[in-house]
Amino acid sequence: MHSDSVKEQGGEAMGSVETPLLIHSASEEEEKNVGFFRRFGGESRKLWKLAGPAIFTAICQYSLGALTQTFAGLVGEVELAAVSVENSVIAGLAFGVMLGMGSALETLCGQAFGAGEIRMLGVYMQRSWVILLTTACILVPVYVFSPPILEVIGETTQISEAAGQFAIWMLPQLFAYAMNFPIQKFLQAQRKVMVMAWVSAVVLVLHALFSWLVILKLDWGLVGAAITLNTSWWLIVIGQLLYIFITKSDGAWSGFSWLAFADLWGFVKLSLASAVMLCLEFWYLMILVVITGRLANPLIPVDAISICMNINGWDAMIALGFNAAISVRVSNELGAGHARTAKFSVLVVSITSVSIGVVCMAIVLATRDYFPYLFTTSVDVATETTKLALLLGITVLLNSLQPVLSGVAVGAGWQSLVAYINIGCYYIIGLPAGIILGFTFDFGAMGIWSGMIGGICLQTIILVVVTKFTNWRKEANEAESRVKRWGGGVSHPD
């Protein structure tokens, strides 16, 4: 009895110790979860403040060319083909190069802003202008000699000549690109994305109005299309510049400086790496349409893939917004020395973007029997598009994460590494696999696209692994060294 009572007392004593421990442990776990969700919510709000206006800006600017193409289509078939080919091939080439080279500023301006070296942002922007305006001059012959270039890739003489003439008229847009992309990266780094959104929205409304007036009412045709599109792009540049010059951008702009011509070689190297990295991505799916045009009976497959690429283009604007947002977050936090915050930002934006990608994929698959008829009245084209919808859905899902990881790379300054990864995954593996499946195994458009999706999958997996095993403390130290080398010093609190 005595021993039993002792056991009972001991059991009660143990129970009285264990219960508080269990409660304490559960409480700690709960607090940890609450802390994670609170941090996730806070970081998500920061990302959406950047991504929301960036997505809106991208859609507005993408719509400028799309609207011009629509109005040109109301004039005639040749006019539609001329604007479409110039937009997608000639201007598309220039857009990719300029966007890529301008993206060097995402690394430099973002890290300098995070480090508190605000005064250097204006100098960086001017250096980028020097490099991009020089690049624009180098690209002028591509516009001037575009008819033979277009004939080489398979366009008819009539379309090549019409698109070539339109390309010469669109030379002012090339130089607007050279000015615009450095300005955008300059503003993005300071999180002034609403400025770009407002300017782009106002210009889009004016563009729609004047396109209708000049192209249709005044019957100026392709000349009117060129005038309105050039004017709209330069209005975006002027509107943003006025904001910078008037407000001084909180000290980031202190006027023109001869420092813009200093250390240009270091800028050129980073700009070229950025250009190669983004151009290899930007042109990859554009090549899909060109290769499909080489099939035995290409008309229906080309039309079907063009519809899919149109939808993918709109969806890509969402990914482009997250690309800009995470690039700003990573570069700012690394510049400030906040390695853990940069790593957490990558986690939050990856979860958010993939969630949106899953929803978009579900919408594509659910409407695959219906959405083709928004673009065509041909039953054959619609049927082929429906067959390709599964591949479109997979591409949409992959494109929800892949551009985000590219944004991380730009924010951290990994452009050279990612350029090599893109060459290997896209052009050594993906593209040959697509050609073999499409032509050798006779799977047609589905085979070409499937092979190229394989390249995107491999690239995404490699970038996930690289990001997963990144030493963010080391990246913060490298950001500090970069800022010191090109503009001052900073101490890291994290």
Contacts of 407 (CB under 8 A, 6+ apart): 322, 323, 324, 325, 326, 327, 330, 349
More confident residue, 436 or 321: 436
Contact 61, 243 (CB under 8 A): no
| Across 181-201, average pLDDT | 93
Can you read off the two tokens belonging to residue 24? 């304490």
Between vectors from CA 160 to CA 155 and to CA 161, what angle results, nearest 5°? 155
Q: How many CA atoms lie within 13 A of 381 on its CB side?
A: 18
Nearest to 280 by CA among 461, 142, 137, 425: 425
371 DSSP 8-state letter = G
Average per-residue pLDDT for the chain: 84
Between vectors from CA 147 to CA 142 and to CA 149, what angle results, nearest 5°? 60
pLDDT band at residue 33, thresholds of 50, 70 and 90? low
pLDDT band at residue 324, thresholds of 50, 70 and 90? confident
Residue 338 backbone phi and psi in degrees, to 5: -95, 80
What is the predicted pLDDT for the residue at 25?
54
What is the predicted pLDDT for the residue at 186?
93
Question: With b meaning 16 or more CB within 10 Å and e meaning fewer, what string describes 49-86?
Answer: ebbebbbbbbbbbbbbbebbbebbeebeebbbbbbbbb
What is the predicted pLDDT for the residue at 4?
47
Lookup result for tokens 């593996």: 429
Contact 207, 228 (CB under 8 A): yes
Domain boundaries, the chain: 44-262, 273-489
Can you read off the two tokens belonging to residue 228? 């309105």
What is the predicted pLDDT for the residue at 12?
42
Question: How many Å apart are CA 206 and CA 216, to the nearest integer?
Answer: 15
Neighbours of 439 (CB within 10 A): 16
| Across 267-293, average pLDDT | 77
| Across 467-480, average pLDDT | 82
- Residue 216, exposed/middle/buried by CB under 10 A (0-12, 13-18, 19+)? middle
Decide: helix, strand or coil at residue 399. helix
Question: How many Å apart are CA 203 and CA 60, to the nearest integer?
Answer: 9
Inform me whether the pLDDT recorded for 93 exceeds 70. yes
What is the predicted pLDDT for the residue at 32?
63
Inform me whether the pLDDT recorded for 8 exceeds 90. no
What is the predicted pLDDT for the residue at 425?
93
What is the predicted pLDDT for the residue at 310?
77
Question: How many Å apart are CA 360 and CA 322, to the nearest integer?
Answer: 15
Can you read off the two tokens belonging to residue 172? 């002012």
pLDDT band at residue 31, thresholds of 50, 70 and 90? low
pLDDT band at residue 7, thresholds of 50, 70 and 90? very low
Which value, in Å, is the radius of gyration of the alpha carbons in the chain? 26
Nearest to 333 by CA among 186, 189, 484, 488: 189
Question: How many Å apart are CA 66 and CA 452, to the nearest integer?
Answer: 26
Nearest to 94 by CA among 136, 145, 64: 136
Nearest to 479 by CA among 17, 137, 109: 109
What is the predicted pLDDT for the residue at 455?
93
More confident residue, 162 or 202: 202
Neighbours of 22 (CB within 10 A): 10
Q: How many CA atoms lie within 13 A of 301 on its CB side?
A: 19
Please give the C-alpha separations between residue 475 and each of 199, 336, 442, in angstroms, as whole numbers: 35, 11, 47
Inform me whether the pLDDT recorded for 449 exceeds 50. yes
Question: How many Å apart are CA 273 and CA 336, to the nearest integer?
Answer: 24
Nearest to 199 by CA among 251, 250, 234: 234
Can you read off the two tokens belonging to residue 65? 């060319």
Please give the C-alpha separations between residue 62 and each of 55, 59, 116, 271, 322, in angstroms, as whole numbers: 10, 5, 33, 23, 16
Question: How many Å apart are CA 44 and CA 350, to the nearest integer?
Answer: 11
What is the predicted pLDDT for the residue at 84?
77
88 DSSP 8-state letter = I
For residues 119, 121, 122, 126, the Cα torsion angle rounded to the nearest 10 degrees is: 140
Q: Which percentage of the chain shows pLDDT scores above 90? A: 38
Please give the C-alpha separations between residue 419 and each of 45, 92, 178, 227, 305, in angstroms, as whole numbers: 31, 19, 22, 36, 26
Lookup result for tokens 């010093």: 489
Side chain identity, residue 354 = V
| Across 355-377, average pLDDT | 91
What is the predicted pLDDT for the residue at 486?
61
Tens-digit pLDDT profile for residues 199-258: 999 999 999 999 999 998 998 988 999 999 999 999 999 999 999 999 988 888 988 888
Q: What is the pTM of this model?
A: 0.79
Q: Where are the alpha helices (DSSP H) in 413-471?
A: 415-422, 431-435, 444-468
Inform me whether the pLDDT recorded for 53 exceeds 90. yes
| Across 161-167, average pLDDT | 90
Decide: helix, strand or coil at residue 376. coil
Contacts of 175 (CB under 8 A, 6+ apart): 133, 136
Q: Is the dihedral of CA 290, 431, 323, 181 positive or negative?
A: negative
What is the predicted pLDDT for the residue at 489?
42
